[in-house]
Amino acid sequence: MRFHSFSLAFTLSLSLLAAFPVKAETQVEKQETALRHHSSILMYHHISSDTPRSTSTDAETFTQHLDLLDKLGFQVWSLEKIADHLKANKPFPDKVAALTFDDAYISVYKTAMPIMQARKLPFTIFVNATPVNQGNKLFMSWDQLRDARKKGATIANHGLEHDHMIRQQAGESDEAWLARMKHQITENQRQLEQQLGTSEKNPLPKLFAYPYGEFNPQLEALLAERGYLAFGQQSGPASGFTSLQGIPRYAANGIYANPKTLRTKLLALPFPVIAEEPRSGVLGADQRSPVLMLTLAKGDYRLDQLRCYGPAGEVLKVDSQPQADGSVTLRVATQKTLPAGRHRYNCTAPHRTESRWFWYSRQWMLPKTDGRWYRS
């Protein structure tokens, strides 16, 4: 539904552009460059050089990221403010970013928090109550989470146990799985509210980050029914071109911490996606060469320079089919047989006139050939 209303607004603004006299057109164009419908949400885990490299960003690199945001003229907003804009389809100033930290690791409290506080930057910590209840020393305590909240952090929901939420247990019915997932979400929210002492005046926002970025349309619907916005780990700008329960974030840890590539991502614009198939990124054991169908509305992307990349940097085969209404349908496919695991297809194209890129990413979850799931 959201895609449709947005595409309507998009088409409308294009036809307005066409109908207006030259002077007014310049006016509209001015507005278009000053206001965008997107923001860039960064995702971190550990801010440390002693933790696993793939999920860590050292303090020096993290500081470079904040310097970069500053240098590029970004405003750092709280995730609630971004969520409110996305929900209301309100335009953003061009350069808005948010900082998010998954899992509530202790290094976020000890290292990242003082750095962000010195710059008065808002940030969000997605928390699983279970490791905090267990007093695991790698994680923040409830006292530290209360203190972080007092100092301006948004505390939000990451599920009770950091489950692979798309996975049904052996012999588990669809209903039983959905009930178990509902518990993961609502019980975690309840414990966060209780431990943090939230109130009607100072409520816990309904923001959820999927563990491992793994979700499917049933989970999106479950969260939507309960009024949550939800965040994945596929990259791309947060915009009206994705579901509100499948909002992309840019990983900024491990191999993604390089400030040069991060700069390109921060400045990236959303492709005007008006349809995509399949809806779910969860593949069957026999779907080892997934095909993605994307329909893009007319836009300022250079279609002839659009490229899509798959696992291990494979340049994917893209067939484009122009449609009568000016949109284009893309068929994106790998030439390989993919192994079990999480994979992504990333598509980019340069802007027609500006020195920035359009960006889209889709995450696949592919089980082993016998239908069992990969380990993590």
Q: Which is nearer to Zn ion, 53 or 336 (CB)?
A: 53
Quote the least distance from Cβ 236 to Zn ion, whole Å: 19
Q: Which of residues 174-213 bind Zn ion (CB under 5 A)?
A: 211
Residue type, 98: A
Q: Is residue 220 near Zn ion by the rule CB under 5 A?
A: no
CB of 137 to Zn ion, least distance (A): 17
Helix pair angle (59-71, 259-266), 10° resolution: 40
The window from 47-55, 96-104, 269-277, 365-373 that contacts Zn ion (CB under 5 A) reads 96-104
- Judged by CB under 5 A, the stretch of 50-58, 103-111, 187-195, 350-358 that binds Zn ion is 103-111
Q: Which is nearer to Zn ion, 102 or 241 (CB)?
A: 102
Nearer to Zn ion among residue 355 and residue 376 (C-beta) = 376
Output b/e per residue, 242-275; b: 16+ Cβ within 10 A: bbbbbbbbbbbbeebbeeeebbebbbbbbbbbbe
Residue 102 binds Zn ion, judged by CB under 5 A: yes
* CA gap 321, 39 in Å, rounded: 29
Whole-number Å distance between alpha carbons of 177 and 282: 15
Nearer to Zn ion, 102 or 220 (CB): 102
Kindly state the smallest distance separating residue 188's Cβ from Zn ion, in Å. Answer: 12
DSSP letters, 47-111, are ESSSS-GGGEE-HHHHHHHHHHHHHTTPEE--HHHHHHHHHHT--EES-EEEEEEES-BHHIIII
What the block records as the tokens of 342 is 């999480």
User: Hey, which residues between 15 and 74 contact Zn ion (CB under 5 A)?
Assistant: none
Least Å from the CB of residue 78 to Zn ion = 20
CB of 211 to Zn ion, least distance (A): 5
Which phi and psi (to 5°) does residue 130 adopt?
A: -60, -55
Opening angle at CA 266, ends 10 and 263, nearest 5 = 140
Under the binding rule (CB under 5 A), the answer on residue 103 touching Zn ion is yes
Q: How far is the CB of 41 from Zn ion (least distance, A)?
A: 15
Count interface residues toward Zn ion (CB under 5 A): 3
Q: Is 214 in the site for Zn ion (CB under 5 A)?
A: no
DSSP state of 253: S
Is 41 or 294 the residue whose CB approaches Zn ion more closely? 41
- Backbone Cα Rg of the chain: 21
The interface region with Zn ion, picked from 80-88, 97-105, 234-242, 280-288 by CB under 5 A, is 97-105
- Does residue 269 sit in helix, strand or coil? strand
Contacting positions for Zn ion (CB under 5 A): 102-103, 211
